[in-house]
Chain A
Amino acid sequence: MTTAVLVHVVVSGLATGSIYALVAISLVIIYNATRTLNFAQGEMLMISTFVGFTAYQRLRLPLVVVLLVAVVAAAALGWAIERLIIRHAISATHFDVLILTLGVSLVLRAGAGLVWTHDEFPFPALFANRPVALGPVRVAPVSLGIIGASLALMLALYVFFAKTRLGRAMRAVAQNQRAARLMGISVERVYSASWMLAAVVGAVAGILIAPVIFLSSKMGLVAINGFIAAVLGGFGSMPGAVVGGMLLGVLENLAPLYLPSGIKYSVPFLLLIAILLVRPGGVVGRTVRRKV
């Protein structure tokens, strides 16, 4: 394989990896605040993208406004799911809540099928598809755009968690709920905020990836790789989620370049097993040693 091909395949992998990373981050946000694994993340992403799409179709809004519509819809959906369903299961075990989110995901997918049908739709792209020359290599603006937008969002999240009161409150709750409550932080508000923030991150990922994998009721399946990315990075760590996502995206693309193409689909899992064997806490995560 020539260098140009290699660069293209790696950049393409980084673009997909950015999406995995965003999904992983949204999973981690909810997990850190509530210790819940949100199996409905992919479907929430799908619904908000569909809402944005409907706004685009009906009102012919510019894409930036479409993105805003999707983000607002996502926040509302995230709030509603947490406030109306998950909050009522606050005393349930994590396993029960997990099943609850799985149920929500099925309902959302079936609901999307009723409203928008199970067809696939072409989604307008923010970035062009035709390659541009960048020195000796040619890259597609769409890949660079996805990577750039994702990195910008990650940076914004970093600032949010490091500098804002709400961000710090969310980190405090993640570390120790009781202590946070004693410090006067409303844990319930943090729960709500986490679900809304996760949904918003998911919506951005949805708008970015929809032109590539097309909009359909099944596009939420992309969240499976988001889960793997989160575990790869050490579940709970946001930098880990980013590294895990990128790593997964690139390796998933490199493997079929050198091996038979069927191998591509087992790569995420092989990688997961390999990393968990060597570093049980994930690439970035710390291993908590339990003393017996």
Chain B
Amino acid sequence: MRYHQAWVVALGALLAAAPAAAEPGVTDTEILIGGSNSFSGPLAFTGEQITKGGVELYLRVVNDAGGIHGRKVRTLWYDDAYRPQDAVANTKKLVEQDKVFAIIIPQGSPPVVATLDYLEEQKVPLLFPYQSSPVTRGKRWIFQGMTVSDRSSKMMIDYLAGRRKFKKFAALYQDDEYGKSFLTAFEKDLGRHGLKLGAAESVKRGVTDVSAQVAKLQATKPDVTFLVLVPGPAAQALKERQKIGWSDTLMVSTGPLTDERYLALAGEAAEGVEGLSLWPDPATSDRPGVKLYREHMQKYAPRNEPNRYSMAGYFAGMLFAEAAKRAGTNLTRESLIAALEGIKGWESGILPPLTIGPDHETQKQGFWVRVEKGRFKPVTDWLKGE
């Protein structure tokens, strides 16, 4: 009888311990997360910053403070150079060979989209992809990072057509998923205001000259010209506008574009440009979380400079750590998902209080900025993206 009881107890203990031990990427002392990202190719700078400059920055803070329930978080990155096929291969390697617990902050719509079905099928959490297409919506294992294009569009159009009463709109957009998802959303939201997009011209990444596209847009005399581009071509478009002395249109940048690199490249040609900012100014904002971010950067990576990419990564690291902490000592993929879904009114000190609903979106807002003397000056408070 005694023996029998002992066996039951032992068996019970074994059963209780087994799932925890079997959870990929989680041991008693460590959590392994990682991702495929751009460390070469067109988005290499951003990739480097969101991962090593951002996620790792926050995790060093966490690890130095003893980790999450005694577990240190380790990261593992592979380079996909913005190529979807490489992103798929890297992601499979991370899941099957390296056995990561979760994928964090992969970048760019095409590479991320290519891995969505696989990760859903394998039931691996995909955390905060750094891309703006809404295709990530409605998936159980995916929590979107950057504010998606339809929410951005709603904030931009409601503000410009509703509050500012602009009537004629045009867009210069990048010829890919990023550009097209914004274009579709603009058309829909302008339709709600009884307006439409008057003209749209496409630009490819790595373009040498945008004079023809800008000339065609100018001929349609829009009040507002949206720039749905990446920093290089967008800055070229602003310089082109200066070249032809086109001053009677308001140039407006989308959320993914409104960043410091774009400003630096465009120089004085950016003065007076407006846009939707998804992040508070990383270098000057006095929000407590942003100040802390700068302090941590000063301490751990003094050679890096504050920028919204590393801040986005830092925020992603913070949100992961928060969810993993809430998931408790018995950390599983299921419990992480449950913890993320349970986040309500969470104060990061960087963005407004966050409630992650069933839509699995972790960033839904932005605010309006205008470029004055080479910096983004806030014009509005946080706008509503719901």
Chain A residues close to B by CB (< 8 Å):
1, 5, 8-9, 12-13, 15-16, 19, 110, 113, 117-122, 129-131, 138, 140, 142-143, 209, 212-214, 216-218, 221-222, 225, 249, 252-257, 260-262, 264-265
Give bound CA distance, A254 to B215, whole Å: 11
Q: Is the CB of B209 within 8 A of A16?
A: yes
Q: A214 and B48 in contact (CB under 8 A), knowing A9-B211, A131-B244, A261-B202?
A: no
Give bound CA distance, A140 to B214, whole Å: 15
**How far does the Cβ of B76 sit from chain A's closest Cβ, in whole Å?**
21
Give bound CA distance, A265 to B242, whole Å: 24
Give bound CA distance, A5 to B264, whole Å: 28
What are 29 pairs between A and B in contact, CB < 8 Å?
A5-B215, A8-B211, A9-B211, A9-B215, A12-B211, A12-B243, A13-B209, A117-B45, A118-B44, A119-B45, A119-B261, A120-B231, A121-B265, A129-B239, A129-B242, A131-B244, A131-B245, A212-B208, A216-B232, A221-B206, A225-B208, A249-B209, A253-B211, A253-B212, A256-B201, A257-B212, A261-B203, A261-B216, A264-B207
The 4 A-B residue pairs whose C-beta atoms are closest, nearest first, are: A118-B44, A140-B243, A12-B211, A119-B45
Give bound CA distance, A138 to B267, whole Å: 22
Contact of B265 among A12, A117, A214, A217 (CB under 8 A): A214
Known: A120-B265, A131-B245, A256-B213. 19 other contacts (CB 8 A): A1-B219, A5-B215, A8-B215, A13-B209, A15-B209, A113-B44, A117-B45, A121-B265, A130-B242, A131-B244, A138-B244, A209-B208, A212-B208, A213-B208, A221-B206, A261-B201, A261-B216, A262-B175, A265-B204
Interface string of B259-291 (1 = CB under 8 A from A): 001001111010000000000000000000000
Contact of B45 among A118, A222, A253 (CB under 8 A): A118
Size of interface on B: residues with Cβ below 8 Å to A: 37
Q: Is the CB of A5 within 8 A of B219?
A: yes
Contact of A130 among B40, B48, B215, B245 (CB under 8 A): B245
Name the A residues within 8 Å of B264 (CB-CB). Answer: 121-122
Name the B residues within 8 Å of A222 (CB-CB). Answer: 208
Name the A residues within 8 Å of B45 (CB-CB). Answer: 117-120
Contact of A120 among B208, B242, B261 (CB under 8 A): B261
Kindly state whether residue B235 has any CB partner on chain A within 8 Å. yes
Interface residue SS majority, chain A:
helix
Kindly state whether residue B42 has any CB partner on chain A within 8 Å. yes
Q: Is the CB of B44 within 8 A of A129?
A: no
**How far does the Cβ of B249 sit from chain A's closest Cβ, in whole Å?**
15
Q: Is the CB of A131 within 8 A of B243?
A: yes
Name the B residues within 8 Å of A257 (CB-CB). Answer: 212, 215-216
**How far does the Cβ of B356 sit from chain A's closest Cβ, in whole Å?**
32
Interface string of B223-239 (1 = CB under 8 A from A): 00000000110011001
Q: Is the CB of A118 within 8 A of B48?
A: yes
Give bound CA distance, A233 to B211, whole Å: 25
Give bound CA distance, A122 to B215, whole Å: 23
Give bound CA distance, A221 to B261, whole Å: 21
**How far does the Cβ of B64 sit from chain A's closest Cβ, in whole Å?**
27
Give bound CA distance, A13 to B208, whole Å: 10
The residues in B between 16 and 52 inclusive whose CB is less than 8 angstroms from any CB of A are: 40-42, 44-45, 48
Name the A residues within 8 Å of B48 (CB-CB). Answer: 117-118
The residues in B between 186 and 224 inclusive whose CB is less than 8 angstroms from any CB of A are: 201-204, 206-209, 211-213, 215-216, 218-219
Give bound CA distance, A120 to B201, whole Å: 24
Name the B residues within 8 Å of A214 (CB-CB). Answer: 232, 235-236, 265
Q: Is the CB of B40 within 8 A of A113?
A: yes
**How far does the Cβ of A214 sit from chain B's closest Cβ, in whole Å?**
6
B209's nearest neighbour on chain A, judged by CB, is A16
Q: Is the CB of A252 within 8 A of B239?
A: no
Q: Is the CB of B206 within 8 A of A218?
A: yes
Give bound CA distance, A212 to B204, whole Å: 16
A121, A225, A261, most chain B CB atoms within 10 A? A261
**How far does the Cβ of A12 sit from chain B's closest Cβ, in whole Å?**
4
Name the B residues within 8 Å of A5 (CB-CB). Answer: 215, 218-219
